[in-house]
């Protein structure tokens, strides 16, 4: 029985994948991610430079490369090294608010595109007011930024604290191995929770929180596996340098972002399929309600004067 259910899920998922043009939508998301990822990390570096100068502490921004090398292929992570080093050395405090606004505006565009993708997957129209929708996208963007900062603190912070505590005891290598073994499971749990919140809040309908965990788990597992396999492929088997020369790093980053977008949309489509199977009547009701609201908003306002030729006009 479960096997038949699994086969039906795969069939419905294939129909959704083709119907919603996930390949093309993933390319759009990858482009938006590419536009937003550089301003985001440059803002983090600029903010770190400002805060550490004010608090008289070492700037953690140069260590961002350690985090990037953990979560993306080395060829892609290398693109950020020179830019981050330049920002750390030259950023002025007055430019931080400008970089913050620019990074949030660009990054929120990526979240808005994801919200559109979730609506398409569930078959609902977007009827939320513009201000509410933008504020919601902004909040989800800030959630993603908080997740990156937490991941950075877990990686760099745990390593720094470990060195301080274990160096006098002579057990630093063992502690380092323990950190490496426990880092990815913890990041996986945090990533799953953040993506589940995104899947729950992005679509323009009410969906139970327990219904989005399946898609979030599929994304996290697929993203970790595909990132590792793609990094190994780029390092040992690919010929990007021969084909693209100095642009090889940019191409690797774009391909990795495209894989990430495909997996994000895979989780969304899986959640939509499960919602159709578990709560079909509720989903159809919300689809009809969103279409009715959209049609009402598109109707022209009623005229204050009677139309020409009517009895009142006469």
Give, for all 314 residues of the chain, the pLDDT tens digit: 344 477 888 999 999 999 999 999 999 889 888 887 777 666 666 666 666 666 555 555 556 666 666 667 777 777 766 666 666 565 555 555 666 677 677 778 888 888 999 999 999 999 888 888 888 988 888 777 666 666 666 666 666 656 656 656 566 566 666 666 677 787 788 888 889 999 999 999 988 888 899 999 999 999 988 988 888 888 777 777 777 777 788 888 889 889 999 999 999 999 999 999 888 898 899 889 888 888 887 755 555 455 555 444 44
Report the alpha-carbon distance of residue 210 to residue 272 in Å, rounded.
Answer: 13
The packing angle between helices 248-278 and 280-298, to 10°, is 110
Report the alpha-carbon distance of residue 280 to residue 267 in Å, rounded.
Answer: 19
Looking at the domain assignment, is residue 239 inside a domain?
yes
Q: Which domain holds residue 230?
A: 11-291
Looking at the domain assignment, is residue 306 inside a domain?
no
Residues 6 or more apart in contact with residue 112 via CB below 8 angstroms:
133, 134, 137
Looking at the domain assignment, is residue 207 inside a domain?
yes
Query: What's the confidence (pLDDT) of residue 12?
Result: 92
What are the helix (H) ranges across 56-95?
64-71, 74-90
Looking at the domain assignment, is residue 2 inside a domain?
no
Report the alpha-carbon distance of residue 49 to residue 222 in Å, rounded.
Answer: 35
Number of domains observed in the structure of the chain: 1
Looking at the domain assignment, is residue 296 inside a domain?
no
State whether the Cα torsion 143-122-20-193 is positive or negative. Answer: positive
How much is the pTM? 0.78
The packing angle between helices 64-71 and 74-90, to 10°, is 160
Looking at the domain assignment, is residue 305 inside a domain?
no
Looking at the domain assignment, is residue 68 inside a domain?
yes
Looking at the domain assignment, is residue 314 inside a domain?
no
């Amino acid at each position: 029985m479960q096997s038949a259910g699994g086969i039906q899920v795969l069939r419905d998922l294939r129909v959704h994948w083709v119907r919603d043009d996930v390949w093309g939508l993933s390319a759009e998301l990858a482009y938006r991610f590419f536009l937003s990822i550089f301003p985001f990390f440059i803002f983090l570096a600029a903010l770190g430079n400002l805060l550490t100068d004010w608090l008289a502490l070492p700037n953690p921004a140069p260590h961002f490369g350690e985090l990037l090398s953990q979560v993306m292929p080395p060829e892609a992570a290398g693109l950020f090294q020179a830019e981050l080093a330049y920002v750390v050395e030259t950023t002025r405090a007055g430019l931080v608010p400008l970089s913050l606004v620019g990074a949030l505006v660009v990054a929120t565009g990526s979240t808005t595109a994801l919200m559109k993708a979730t609506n398409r997957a569930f078959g609902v129209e977007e009827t939320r007011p513009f201000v509410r929708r933008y504020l919601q996208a902004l909040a989800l963007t800030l959630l993603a930024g908080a997740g990156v900062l937490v991941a950075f603190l877990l990686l760099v912070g745990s390593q720094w604290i470990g060195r301080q505590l274990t160096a006098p005891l002579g057990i630093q290598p063992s502690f380092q191995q323990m950190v490496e073994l426990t880092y990815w499971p913890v990041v996986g749990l945090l990533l799953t929770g953040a993506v589940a919140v995104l899947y729950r809040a992005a679509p323009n309908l009410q969906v139970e929180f327990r219904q989005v965990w399946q898609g979030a788990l599929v994304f996290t597992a697929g993203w970790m596996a595909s990132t590792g396999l793609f990094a190994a492929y780029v390092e040992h088997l690919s010929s990007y340098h021969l084909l693209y020369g100095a642009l090889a790093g940019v191409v690797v980053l774009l391909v990795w972002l495209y894989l990430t977008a495909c997996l994000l949309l895979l989780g969304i489509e899986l959640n939509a399929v499960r919602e159709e199977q578990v709560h079909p009547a509720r989903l159809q009701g919300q689809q009809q309600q969103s279409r009715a609201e959209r049609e009402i908003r598109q109707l022209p306002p009623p005229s204050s004067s009677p139309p020409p030729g009517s009895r009142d006009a006469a």
